[in-house]
Amino acid sequence: MSLTFRVACNQKGPVTMTHIVEITDLRKSYKGGFQALKGVTLGIEQGEILALLGPNGAGKTTLISTICGITMPTSGSVTVAGHDILTDYRAARSMIGLVPQEINLEPFERVVNTVRFSRGLFGKPSDDAALEKVLRQLSLWDKKDSQIRELSGGMKRRVLIAKALAHDPRVLFLDEPSAGVDVELRKDMWEIVRKLKDDGVTIILTTHYIEEAEAIADRVGIIADGELLLVEEKTKLMARMGQKELEVQLTERLSEVPANLRSGALTLSRDGCALIYTYDTTSRRISPSAAMLARSLVMPVRSALVSYV
Ligand SMILES: Nc1ncnc2c1ncn2[C@@H]1O[C@H](COP(=O)(O)OP(=O)(O)OP(=O)(O)O)[C@@H](O)[C@H]1O
Ligand SMILES: [Mg+2]
């Protein structure tokens, strides 16, 4: 299943002094003039979990990379706990941990050394107790002497988080922590994120999965085509976007909804190539899955798509 983003709104997070990260009119044009960020203004509250949701190429990684000092902004400003990311970059970066989208670990290095090295990069003195705390927090303590290449994909992702936390940052950026991980691991990741929030860490994560934002975020920002379209408290957003559509694409055209599926909630698309089921996300009724609909059909199904309407 995939998602479509049909939200269009110009509401942006008001910038106040309580924000740990202040982003003001941030723009980024890459070489050749491509505008990846078109004036993003956003205030991130201390201790919140903010999910940035958006399709491929929306500008999520560019936004995070710019805040973390990996990508140079073209214009605009960012401060982290009052420190400007350009003029006061050492102080700003010391507050930040980044879990990158790609796994980029040295395969022959041991877990404990990898994490220790990350702490050293920030000029922090070696601290075995802090190291143990981070590794235990991420259930990596029993793997501390393993080489990275001996770990599963999910464990490698946890090492990335441990590295990002090694210097005790107050703001953690997770760039698609759930990409390519199974449902169980995704839930583990959510648990880790919740515990970090309990420890007072502010968390910004990017995701393609609205379910992920729904599960853990306090606020959700929707970014598309370099613009922040909306930032809103999750509960308010979910209430406002309470209707979901399940669109089942058919391999053959229908002229009408099959008799066995006739109900007010199911309609046929104008071209007859898709069945659309509209349901309320706040309803306690169990919504039909694509598989269930497919089983009820006499025709093969090409794909299914869920979107908020
Ligand atoms: N170094 C670069 N040089 C030129 N263009 C770039 C560069 N990095 C990113 N872009 C472009 O900027 C746009 C935003 O990319 P970005 O990686 O920020 O998107 P994203 O929202 O993180 O996407 P995804 O969900 O696929 O990770 C894309 O069109 C991308 O091709
Ligand atoms: Mg990205």
CA of 163 to the centre of ligand 2 (A): 19
Per CATH, domain 14-240 is 2.40.37.10: no
Cα 57 from Cα 46, distance rounded (Å): 27
Domain boundaries, the chain: 14-240, 242-308
pLDDT digits (tens, 9 = 90+) for 22-58: 999 999 999 999 999 999 999 999 999 999 999 899 9
Distance CA 193, CA 196 (A): 5
| Residue 38, token pair as written in the block | 């078109």
Counting from 1 in the atom list of ligand 1, the atom nearest the Cα of 176 is 27
Instruction: Indicate if ligand 1 lies below 6 Å from the C-beta of 225.
Output: no
Between strands 243-250 and 274-280, the pairing is antiparallel
- Among the listed residues 5, 66, 6, the one whose alpha carbon sits nearest the alpha carbon of residue 204: 66
Q: Is the CB of 157 under 6 A from ligand 1?
A: no
Does this model's pTM top 0.85? no
How many alpha carbons lie under 13 Å from residue 87 in its C-beta half-sphere? 7
Q: Going by DSSP bridges, is the β-strand pair 202-207/49-53 parallel, antiparallel, or unpaired?
A: parallel
pLDDT higher than threshold 60 for residue 265: yes
- Amino acid (1-letter code) at residue 163: K
Ligand nearest the Cα of residue 208 is: 1
Separation of 22 CA from ligand 1 center, angstroms? 22
Amino acid making up residue 26: L
Rounded alpha-carbon distances, angstroms, from residue 230 to 176, 217, 279: 19, 14, 23
Quick one: pLDDT band at residue 6, thresholds 50, 70, 90?
very low
Is the pLDDT higher at 183 or at 135?
Answer: 135
Question: Residue with the nearest Cα to atom 7 of ligand 1?
Answer: 30
- Measured CA to CA, the distance from residue 181 to residue 306 in angstroms comes to 20
Instruction: Judge if the beta carbon of residue 36 lies within 6 A of ligand 1.
Output: yes
State how far the Cα of 3 lies from the Cα of 137, in Å rounded to an integer. Answer: 32
- Asked whether residue 14 carries a pLDDT value surpassing 70, the answer given is no
Task: Give the ligand 1 atom nearest the CA of 32.
Answer: 4
Mutate to test the pocket of ligand 1, among 61, 205, 206 (most ligand atoms within 8 A of CB): 61
Query: Highest mean pLDDT: which of 32-36, 180-184, 239-243, 245-249?
Result: 32-36
The mean pLDDT value of the chain amounts to 85
Residues with CB under 5 A from ligand 2 (ion): 60-61, 101
Please give the Cα distance from 26 to 77 (Å, whole number): 6
Specify whether the CB–CB gap between 174 and 108 falls below 8 A.
no
Lowest mean pLDDT among 53-57, 71-75, 77-81, 82-86: 53-57
Measuring from atom 1 of ligand 1, which residue has the nearest CA? 30
- Ligand 1 within 6 A of CB of 226: no
